[in-house]
């Protein structure tokens, strides 16, 4: 048990120091390692396999809606980045600049893409001619760079992986429809696959994307009560089209400006999975996104027939469509349990000589640690059942956590008191004035997370200034 204890002791408990717990988990579960470039990360096999699963599912959902994948260059000439005024103001302060190619200085410096609106616009302006060419719904999977001052693995790093969809439409209505459609793709994906419930809504003008007419967001609540913006979808109206000259000949033969959208989800969401589901033993992965579903751990593996039986169970489960490994290393079972728990593998199977004799095994759920005795003949059915139940329970548990940590406030004292003492979302009314957002941020560090689609009336006046209320807003401290 000594080695087992050592592994577990190496993690800080969540209650003691959540930030340290997070860092411990990403390292101990072998999701990432720090790189020699400050603020960049090495995504290790366990972390990358998660991203691959996210990619696979999201990509299929995108393609179902008619999206096609492309690849744009990673460099943006400075003059191109500057074409849309708000956009360049938002991004220029945090881009990395390439100034030399080989031994020669470049005539014009290039930034490494922080996002690719300008490149897509530059492409679309020559690619779109007629209403027959519309819509174009392109997406790319790539890495982007933002020169952040303070960084944290997955949550904020100088380079991260993401997908960015960029679409062009004939009308404002089509663009708005696509914007909402993709937000729903993200929301459904988070709930169905990641077991993360999200609040869907619109960002205030202060919080919207640089250059967007409207930004929609899904906001998730982490275990510590802080919010995580988990995916965004932007409607650009015809702003970029006017800046870049993207026009099409309509059916009536008049030239019109296109309407555009963009939408993205990144490796940041892996931070969300960790912080929504993790516990003091490490990661807890939702079965539908877990790279390994089952770890078979033989007990007294040197006894005759144990390793063979473990391998047989694995083979049966693999045949039934599960991803399974056997831990037949020379570590103790206790140590293996701790490792499987740290890695968040949804289910472990314990099988020893006695179990074999009795024709059964023990299946242990990672989330509840419930031990379930399973007759070997029913293994496939039971494992399937257990994984499905676990997936459902994890979403339900996360949903209850959001409910239990969502508050309402009518007056400012009350609002500040909750924000400072009860981590979570606060629903409160807002007058629509940016100065109230600024005051709240200054007083509490909380920001407006979104104006949810499902509006409620908490009171008739702004929680901050007391003037007539326009919108109900979710407020919170955020990553």
Interacting residues with its own copies (CB under 8 A)? 33, 35-37, 40-45, 48-49, 51-52, 68-77, 80, 93-103, 110, 112, 119, 122-123, 126-127, 138, 142-143, 145, 147, 158-159, 161
Q: Where does 343-378 have alpha helices with state H?
A: 353-358
**Which DSSP category does 41 fall into?**
E
CB of 70 to its own copies, least distance (A): 5
Separation between Cα atoms, residue 463 and residue 461, nearest integer Å: 6
CB of 50 to its own copies, least distance (A): 11
Cβ-based nearer residue to its own copies, 46 or 361: 46
CB of 248 to its own copies, least distance (A): 17
Q: How far apart are the first and last CA of the chain?
A: 37
User: Across-strand partners of 167?
Assistant: 137, 261
Cβ-based nearer residue to its own copies, 114 or 298: 114
Cβ-based nearer residue to its own copies, 46 or 436: 46
Count the residues in the chain. 479
Cβ-based nearer residue to its own copies, 231 or 291: 291
Separation between Cα atoms, residue 214 and residue 80, nearest integer Å: 22
Cβ-based nearer residue to its own copies, 167 or 281: 167
Cβ partners under 8 Å of residue 170, min gap 6: 131, 134, 135, 248, 250, 256, 258, 259
Separation between Cα atoms, residue 47 and residue 52, nearest integer Å: 9
CB of 76 to its own copies, least distance (A): 8
CB of 111 to its own copies, least distance (A): 9
Contact 153, 41 (CB under 8 A): yes
Cβ-based nearer residue to its own copies, 41 or 274: 41
User: How many CA atoms lie within 13 Å of 44's alpha carbon, on the beta-carbon side?
Assistant: 13
Residues 225, 282, 143, 188: what is their CA dihedral angle, to the nearest 10 degrees?
-60
CB of 84 to its own copies, least distance (A): 15
- Helix (H, G, I), strand (E, B), or coil: what is residue 379? helix
- Structure token pair of residue 130: 């007629």
Cβ-based nearer residue to its own copies, 221 or 338: 338
Cβ-based nearer residue to its own copies, 56 or 400: 56
User: How many CA atoms lie within 13 Å of 207's alpha carbon, on the beta-carbon side?
Assistant: 26
- Structure token pair of residue 89: 């103001």
Contact 31, 38 (CB under 8 A): no
Cβ-based nearer residue to its own copies, 96 or 465: 96
Separation between Cα atoms, residue 265 and residue 275, nearest integer Å: 17
Contact 233, 453 (CB under 8 A): no
Cβ-based nearer residue to its own copies, 113 or 203: 113
- Helix (H, G, I), strand (E, B), or coil: what is residue 184? helix
- Helix (H, G, I), strand (E, B), or coil: what is residue 307? helix
CB of 273 to its own copies, least distance (A): 17
Cβ-based nearer residue to its own copies, 72 or 194: 72
Residues 325, 330, 335, 338: what is their CA dihedral angle, to the nearest 10 degrees?
-10
CB of 82 to its own copies, least distance (A): 13
Separation between Cα atoms, residue 211 and residue 90, nearest integer Å: 8
CB of 43 to its own copies, least distance (A): 4
CB of 411 to its own copies, least distance (A): 40
User: How many CA atoms lie within 13 Å of 222's alpha carbon, on the beta-carbon side?
Assistant: 25
Closest CA to 446 of 427, 461, 465, 468: 427
CB of 87 to its own copies, least distance (A): 16
Closest CA to 445 of 265, 240, 227, 262: 227
Cβ-based nearer residue to its own copies, 321 or 359: 321
Contact 326, 274 (CB under 8 A): no
CB of 17 to its own copies, least distance (A): 25
């Amino acid at each position: 048990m000594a080695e087992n204890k050592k592994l577990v002791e190496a993690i800080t408990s969540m209650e003691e120091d959540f930030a340290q717990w997070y860092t411990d988990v990403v390292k101990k579960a072998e999701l990432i390692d720090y790189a020699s470039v400050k603020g960049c990360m090495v995504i290790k096999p366990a972390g990358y396999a998660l991203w691959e699963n996210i990619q696979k599912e999201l990509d299929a959902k995108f393609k179902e809606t008619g999206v096609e994948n492309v690849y744009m260059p990673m460099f943006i000439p400075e003059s191109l980045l500057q074409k849309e005024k708000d956009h360049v103001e938002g991004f220029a302060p945090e881009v990395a600049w390439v100034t030399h190619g080989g031994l020669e200085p470049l005539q014009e410096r290039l930034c490494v893409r922080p996002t690719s609106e300008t490149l897509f616009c530059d492409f679309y302006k020559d690619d779109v001619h007629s209403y027959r060419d519309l819509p174009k719904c392109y997406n790319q999977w790539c890495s982007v760079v933002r020169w952040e001052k303070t960084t944290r693995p997955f949550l904020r790093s100088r380079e991260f992986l993401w997908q960015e969809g960029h679409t062009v439409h004939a009308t404002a209505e089509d663009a708005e429809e696509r914007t909402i459609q993709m937000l729903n793709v993200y929301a459904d994906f988070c709930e169905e696959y990641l077991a993360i419930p999200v609040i869907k809504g619109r960002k205030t003008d202060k919080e919207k994307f640089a250059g967007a007419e409207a930004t929609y967001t899904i906001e998730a609540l982490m275990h510590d009560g802080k919010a995580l913006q988990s995916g965004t979808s932007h409607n650009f109206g015809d702003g970029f089209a006017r800046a870049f000259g993207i026009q099409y000949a309509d059916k009536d033969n008049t030239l019109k400006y296109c309407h555009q959208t963009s939408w993205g989800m990144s490796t940041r969401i892996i931070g969300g999975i960790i912080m929504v589901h993790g516990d003091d033993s490490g990661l807890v992965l939702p079965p539908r996104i877990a790279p390994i579903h089952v770890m078979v751990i033989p007990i007294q593996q040197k006894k005759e027939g144990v390793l063979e039986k473990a391998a047989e169970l694995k083979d049966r489960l693999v045949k039934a469509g599960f991803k399974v490994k056997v831990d037949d290393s020379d570590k103790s079972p206790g140590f293996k349990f701790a490792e499987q728990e740290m890695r968040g593998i949804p289910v472990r199977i314990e099988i020893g000589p006695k179990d074999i004799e009795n024709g059964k095994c023990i299946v242990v759920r990672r989330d509840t640690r419930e031990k379930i005795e399973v007759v070997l003949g029913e293994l496939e059915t039971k494992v399937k059942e257990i994984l499905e139940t676990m997936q459902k329970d994890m979403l339900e548990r996360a949903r209850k956590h959001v409910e239990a940590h969502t508050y309402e406030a009518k007056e400012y004292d009350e609002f500040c008191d909750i924000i400072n003492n009860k981590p979570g979302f606060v629903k409160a009314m807002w007058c629509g004035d940016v100065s109230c957002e600024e005051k709240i941020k200054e007083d509490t560090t909380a920001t407006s997370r979104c104006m949810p689609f499902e509006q409620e009336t908490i009171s008739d006046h702004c929680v901050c200034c007391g003037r007539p209320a326009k919108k109900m807003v979710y407020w919170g401290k955020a990553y």
